Amino acid sequence: LPHLEVLGIEMAVERRLQILCLHGYRQNDVFFREKTGSLRKMIKKYADLHYACAPHRPNVESSEERGDVRGWWFTKPDAQFSSRDVTDLATGFEDSIKYLVELIKVKGPFDGYLGFSQGACMLHLLLAKAEKGEIDIPKPQFVIFGSGFLSLSSKHEEYTKLRLTSTPSLHIFGTGDEVVLYPVSERLMDQFRPSDSSSTVTPSEIRHDGGHFIPPMSRYKQPLIAFLEQQLAVVEVRE
């Protein structure tokens, strides 16, 4: 462990996982930080959460929203997005990739990433582009997806076909989610499932009975902490 000298007394500084968080569509970093407050407190012994803010502003009525809402890319010509759009559009996607690559370069490195909804989809695409060698970011030790899904844009087809079986992943989704149906989140999880049954890297899941949100994690503390402890142990061994 790193050490810190205070008043002549050497003290061990606990290593915590550094996690970059990607918010959902029509959210922002401040909003997502608020929404993950209970999660952040629960895992503070194990991890520090850092929040990215998507560069694009969706076309919404100001009366509909509070604050400066953002999106990672758009599937409609009028600067809007839906996870269910089968489309040839992915407007703003490459700009968001450039933003994240620069953010990781300046603020990182990060041990892992967490993405929610469109942020989860963005995270998957970021990893796929890195896997194909199109961008240069450090390979994360792990990833966490909340209400994740695969992009239906033809612009992303080469990435959604790619299996990412070497990265440990935790998938959190609700059977009552009406925005991203849980079988859709399962399809994303399948992209992290090795075809070889002898592989030690298999996706973990927390399946809850709620809707489109990261649930109060007190009910799921054991599997969440177990996943983080496993990743922390690997990081500490590597260091």
Count of Cβ atoms closer than 10 Å to residue 196 Cβ: 7
Q: Is residue 212 annotated as a catalytic residue, yes or no?
A: yes
Q: Is residue 56 annotated as a catalytic residue, yes or no?
A: no
Question: Of 83, 117, 151, 169, which one is the catalytic site residue?
Answer: 117
How many Å apart are CA 17 and CA 85, to the nearest integer? 35
Question: Of 56, 177, 185, 208, which one is the catalytic site residue?
Answer: 177
Distance from CA of residue 11 to its chain's centroid?
A: 33
Question: Of 29, 50, 85, 212, which one is the catalytic site residue?
Answer: 212
Residue positions annotated with a catalytic role: 117, 177, 212
